[in-house]
Chain A
Amino acid sequence: MVDDERSIRLLCRVNLVASGIEVLEASDGREGLELARRERPDLVLLDVMMPELDGWTVARELAADEQTRDIPIVFLTARADPADRRLGEQLGGVGYVVKPFDPVTIGEFVEGVLVRVERGEREQLRRGITSDPDR
């Protein structure tokens, strides 16, 4: 869970843990990138506008590294423009959640994404970022 806003991190952590998901937190892009490289999580929830490195850069770096390129990324951002969604799709995200969001369902959502990734539906998920903006 990478987000510079402490309140958003807290929200995600409490609700993800409630869904039985283990959560590691980073409060900026640089820290997030290091954490992901070190811990190889099953999925990264990534904010976009952050100090040090922004979310787009973190996504690029992860994709460029053979060790981390397969980690699915879900963007969690206040940026709601179609252009931002397109960028998220181009950078290989598998989900795009716009703030404000319902944290109660976030665990369910993350599990759903993981199941579909497992089934080899990464490409459909990726394209869903722009073709199905409601989810």
Chain B
Amino acid sequence: MSTTESTDAADRARRLQRVAELLAEAVTPQEVLDAILTEGVKAAEARAGAIGVLSADGRTVELLAQRGYDASVMVGWESFPLETDVPMSDVIRTGKPLFIASAKERNELYPALAQRGQKSHAVVVVPLAVEGRVFGAMSLSFDRDVEFEPERRDMKLTLARQAAQALARSQLYAAEQTLRERMTFLAEASELLASSLDYNHTLRQVAQLSVPGLADWCAIDMVGPDGEIERLGVAHEDPDKVRWAYELQDRYPPDPDAPTGVPQVLRTGEPEFFPELPQELLDEAIGDDEELRRIIDELGLKSTICVPLVARGRTLGALTLIAAETHPPYTETDLALAIELARRAAVAVDNARLYREAERGANAARALDYVADGVVLLDRDSRVRHWNPAAAAITGVDEEQALDCPVADVVPAWDALTSHVPLVPPGGAARPVTVPIVLASRERWVAVSGVEFADGTVYALQDVTEEHALEKTRSDFVATASHELRTPLAAVYGAVRTLRRDDVQLSDDDRTQFLEMIESEATRLARIVDQILLAGQLDAEAVDLELTECDPQRVAAGVIESAALHLPQSISLDLDVDGAQPIRCDEHKLRQVLVNLVDNAVKYSPEGGRVELRVRSSNGSCLIEVADEGLGIPPEERDRIFEKFYRLDPQQTQGVGGSGLGLYICRELVERMEGRLRVESELGKGSRFTVELPLRR
């Protein structure tokens, strides 16, 4: 080896070292290419260099970069099929380096290149491989013929190895970089989606986040409640363009039956991906609309991805990404990212909707907790799905015992309760039917109405037992009152009819009796009518009392005086006063009460005897007692005699009659004067009624 050669060798080694350092520093693929094609070509003492890589499908060679060739020479060589008969294709195919020493040798090997007027002399093409896999080649052209000794060949191969490793590393780095960006994007989008239940708002933010990194345009459309397409949001860097997009949407609303685009994706639930938007598709969509053609042309649509938002098998909407003026055409990786983004968005929307539904359901249940009517929801199989507390109270069955069970097991009387209830459709006027029923061994009257809908039946139950009892009391009152009036009315009417007979000569005695009868029965009628009216007023709380200071002794003496006027001879009537003090009461009403009690005492003493009215004071109260020695009251009846229309069994009272209202009215009046009325009695020995009234304070 000569000195020059060894100097050359040392020089080459230094230059190779320099390239290695540059490549180590290069990070992006572009930096790597720059380093190879400047320092690498220089180190190899070549005039020009080019780097080509195999396409992803392995069928074409794409020229990544070149330096030193005339631009005119390279026209048409940006990308060429792998089968093309050129050195670079051969090297990539075989994985073997090619060292061509002269133009003559090249023209022999590649006659086609000779005609293309390539001026180069020697050519070296070396494969770029990583871990035994050839992914491209580097060609170096020299402006002279070169004899490639083994040492020079080694140098070229070393350069290629370094270039290949740097390039692979930088591409890996770039891919990682992209991946990281995507992951960051997905993370940000997910965070947005999880930030609020207002998915309309968050989806718009996600669209905004997608431009310009992921798309020039991003649109989100949702399926409305009636299946219509609702545009939720459109994003573009330029707000003017967004406004314009909405106008466009208004002018050209989407056709739900359109064979492509959002309608198609919503219909099928499948993504639609156009790496390169076919012109015929656009033409078809545009038709003869020149205005629309101008707009579409201006948009410069290149590539689109439209993916459905699918959750639990339902298509909720669609996400559209469009690459137009700046974004490169979409790849499968972009599609995968879009699908993942759509999946996350769909889950967020679904969650928000489920949450709202659950919340609505919970609110409804909470409201039903406080409704006074029983609400029972049955599914199609008559199983209990809802049982509110009022339903539990009416039926006596707890919610826990009722839920999910067949209603006939829960309430055996259910069929009797509901069989006559007309079921109306939702929105119909439910007509309640009132049914008597024994629930939890109590007789209840329940008003039931029912609405039938697609998933089952909802019943409303209202416990009207009290209203029904009140109604019964009212109708009983009318029946009994009319009954009470019939007998005196019969006597008066009958007496008048008889007196007017001209075919019969009545004796003077009979005539007198009839006249007395008319007088006394008419009085009886008037008293019954008064008592019915007063009882009605007491029921309606319409009795006004005038509470004033009065002397009980004076009132009692007055009552004795008037009673004595028509007293049977067998009865003796006495007044016994022991220290009477002024009381506070309605004097007129107190007189009414005492007259009634004395009348009763006389009436229920058919065998005669003593009736005594006693007045005394005790512990801040005034006690007025009416005692007789008459029939007495059986113990089991002592409370009931104060009920409206309650009368002692006529078999035990020897036919003593009345309106059935006297004692009811007495007790009501006394209680309204803040007093009490009570009775003590011994059967066959007599009774004692005691009015207790507060003393004047």
Contacts and interface: CB of A to CB of B under 8 A. Distances in A.
Interface in A80-97: 80-81
Interface in B454-513: 479, 482-483, 486-487, 489-495, 497-498, 501, 503-504, 506, 510, 513
A117 interface: no
A8 B495 CA distance: 9
Interface residues of A, number: 28
Interface stretch (B144-152, B344-352, B574-582, B650-658): B650-658
A10 B497 CA distance: 13
B62 interface: no
Best-surrounded residue of A28, A79, A80, A99 (most CB of chain B within 10 A): A99
Interface string A53-73: 110000000000000000000
A46 B464 CA distance: 41
Given A7-B495, A81-B479, A104-B497, A14 B510 contact: yes
A11 B501 CA distance: 12
B498 A100 contact: no
Interface string A1-16: 0001101101100110
Nearest to A78: B486
Interface residues of B, number: 30
A11 B653 CA distance: 24
A99 B510 CA distance: 21
A49 B648 CA distance: 12
Contacts of A10: 510, 513-514, 517
Nearest to B493: A100
Nearest to A19: B504
B521 interface: yes
Contact of A53 (B491, B651, B653): B651
Interface in A17-61: 18, 27-28, 49-54
A51 B514 CA distance: 24
Given A50-B650, A80-B486, A103 B521 contact: no
A50 to B, nearest CB: 7
Given A8-B491, A18-B504, A99-B487, A27 B497 contact: no
A78 B483 contact: yes
Contacts of B657: 4-5
A8 B490 contact: yes
B630 to A, nearest CB: 14
A11 B494 contact: yes
Contact of A100 (B489, B503, B517): B489
A9 B373 CA distance: 56
Contact of A80 (B483, B517, B653): B483
B655 A101 contact: no
Given A8-B490, A78-B487, A104 B498 contact: yes
Interface of B: 479, 482-483, 486-487, 489-495, 497-498, 501, 503-504, 506, 510, 513-514, 517, 521, 650-651, 653-657
Interface of A: 4-5, 7-8, 10-11, 14-15, 18, 27-28, 49-54, 78-81, 98-104
17 contacts: A5-B657, A7-B494, A7-B521, A8-B490, A8-B491, A10-B513, A10-B514, A11-B490, A14-B510, A15-B498, A27-B655, A49-B650, A51-B654, A52-B651, A52-B655, A101-B494, A102-B494
* 4 nearest A-B pairs in the assembled complex, by CB-CB distance: A51-B655, A99-B490, A100-B490, A78-B486
